[in-house]
Structure 1
Amino acid sequence: MYLPGVCRMSPRLSLKASKESPGLTKEIRREKFKTAGDKQNEQELFDELKNRFLSFKRNNYLENLEEYEKLAKGQAPKFMVIACADSRVCPSVILGFQPGEAFMVRNVANLVPPYESGPSETNAALEFAVNSLEVENILVIGHSCCGGIRALMSMQEGSDDSSFIKSWVRVGKNASISTKATASNLSFDQQCRHCEKESVSRSLSNLLTYPWIEERVMRGLLSLHGGYYDFVDCSFEKWTLDYMGSSLKEKAGGGKHATKNHSFWR
């Protein structure tokens, strides 16, 4: 059960892929709704996927065959979307993206590393989307009850980076520092919610550290947007980075950039 503003985490957690204590990992995963004894039969799961695929083919693909034949020849999406890998946050479902409309990347906590961090699957996708597909909009979507952000906020200064999770979420360190400085009077859950939005804004600033992204933003060919999906009350907040309205210090990487066009969808 979800309570507004409350994101309960499970104490029964483990991390097999890297050498990490349960202390951090328990901030990543939610309480399971099924016990091990209730595990659904694997064949039943794939039978369900088969039925869904055949339904898609019958009711969508064949009904829109001409459009899919166009897509088979190439793609020209207007959006690149960077969202969290969380199973409850699917941009195509909540925003109704259709095939060919959005080039998507999903990672833990919807983070964008700065240019100087070096190669990653996220900036490789950015390079392809911006330089090859020439998307006109990049939308970074954060969300409520984010386990990755909760892990980031739980990390102690000076802790080692022995896990894949720690190494990755550390990309959002500036958002965590800013949150703890400005929202120290709030509860931990409220601080996490603050950081969920702060990390989106920091990722937008990180996007501008890529020369080819900043160049297209300066020319008015590319816009950078932030979004926040609250699945507890099903609301969506959207804003746009205001490059021209930002100070020289902000443009030089001194902090968050100015924003504009805030809107709330309820």
Structure 2
Amino acid sequence: MATPSPTTFSQPFNFSKDVRRTTLKTSTIFGPKLKSGEIEHTHLRLLTSFMTGPRLELKASKDPPGLTQQLDNSRLESLAETENVCDFFEDLKHRFLRFKKRKFKENLEHFQNLAQGQAPKFMIIACADSRVCPSNILGFQPGEAFVVRNIANLVPTFESGPSETNAALEFAVNALKVENILVIGHSRCGGIRALMSMQDEEDSSSFIRSWVVVGKNASLITKSAASNLSFDQQCRHCEKESVNHSLSNLLTYPWIEEKVARGELFVHGGYYDFIDCTFEKWTLDYEGGNLEKNSRFAVKNQFYWC
């Protein structure tokens, strides 16, 4: 029986001999345009990497020095950003654990009841602005308010078609049976500023424009009534006018108007000024019948909290 010849892996490895053999082959691979000194320099660095480290590192010998420094700086900045994100989530973890210790466990029965279902009395429609948190401002506790936040706290009409806001309205009014809807506007609203700056010829593909156009009638009323005011003052006027416009839009939903007419549901407006920390509240005074487009309505129970 013939003995099989040993494979190349069983041969002893002569490092200097194999490197020289590789050098000769490499001359053919790289072609005649490279100088012999360049090839020798390349293999000298290859040999050094084998001799001095456990891994093979290929480096570009002709890179400008500044490029390496830029890459190093980018790596440092990336590491710093990662550390900042980690620090932030570490802070969030401690906030959550404080909530669990000081609120959840101390009110365990309440949270266990909430786990079975919710029955909030309020639905809040507020702006997505990070400075305007309804639970923070008005002290709502878990289970007390069903909250929807969107750009400029707008309510589209029933005829406008589906959106996350009217889907939430349907669920809150028909399933949760909320007794109050409160629409909260606020000072220095970027969405209202975008609405007031909007031009008819602007690109309609903008998501922001397609949304804030819901409040177009409020901006038209504002520009007509406050044309003598500065742009900033007009925006402040529209911040409140848009709330009333949204209250009118709420009554375009048949199942909302029916409940309001029967006194089962009340619709309120609010305005939070975070500059001097004041809050205005008013309630729509419904007298029955459908509101015509752009019609005005009376309010009652108007308060100013400061």
- What's the TM-score, normalizing by structure 2? 0.72
CA-CA distance at 1:253 after TM superposition: 3.3
Question: 2:275 matched to 1:253?
Answer: no
Partner letter of residue 257 of structure 1?
Answer: F
Cα distance in structure 2, aligned partners of 1:155 and 1:225 = 27
Q: Which residue of 1 aligns with 2:269?
A: 226
What displacement does 1:254 show? 4.1
Q: Kindly tell me the number of residue pairs found equivalent between the two proteins.
A: 228
- Runs (5+) with no aligned partner, structure 1: 1-35
Partner of 1:265: 305
Which of 102, 107, 126 is equivalent to 2:145? 102
Asked if the contact 2:182/2:270 (under 8 Å) is kept, the reply is yes
User: Which of 28, 47, 51 is matched with 2:94 structurally?
Assistant: 51
Query: What is the Cα deviation at residue 68 of structure 1?
Result: 0.4
Q: Give, in whole Å, the separation in 2 of the partners of 1:41 and 1:184.
A: 47
Note if contact 1:229-1:235 (Cα within 8 Å) is conserved in structure 2.
yes
Pick aligned residue for 1:196 from 235, 239, 242: 239
Number of the residue aligned with 1:62: 105
Residue pair 1:202, 1:256 contacting (<8 A) in 2 also: no
Name the residue aligned to 2:183.
140
- Note the alpha carbon deviations across 1:171-204, whole angstroms, 9 max, x for none: 0000000000000000000000000000000000
Could you tell me how far apart the structure 2 residues matched to 1:89 and 1:207 are? 22
Cα distance in 2 for residues equivalent to 1:178 and 1:252:
15
CA contact (8 A) 1:140 1:204 kept: yes
The structure number with the bigger radius of gyration is 2
User: Whole-Å Cα distance in 1 between the matches of residues 302 and 154 of structure 2?
Assistant: 21
For 1:160 and 1:215, locate their aligned partners in 2 and report how far apart those are by CA, in whole Å: 38
In structure 1, how many angstroms separate the alpha carbons of the residues matched to 2:232 and 2:139?
29
The runs of 5 or more residues in structure 2 that have no matched partner are 1-77
**Residues of 1 paired with 2:268 and 2:176: CA distance?**
18
Would you identify which runs of 4 or more consecutive aligned residues in structure 1 move more than 4 Å?
none
- Residue 255 of structure 1 aligns to a residue whose secondary structure is coil
Q: Structure 2: which amino acid aligns with 1:44?
A: D
Cross-structure match for 2:209: 166
2:190 and 2:283 map into 1 onto residues whose CA distance is 25
Give me the CA root mean square deviation: 1.7
- Match of 2:52? none
3-state SS of the aligned residue for 2:183?
Answer: strand
The answer to which structure, 1 or 2, has the higher relative contact order (CA under 8 A, 6+ apart) is 1
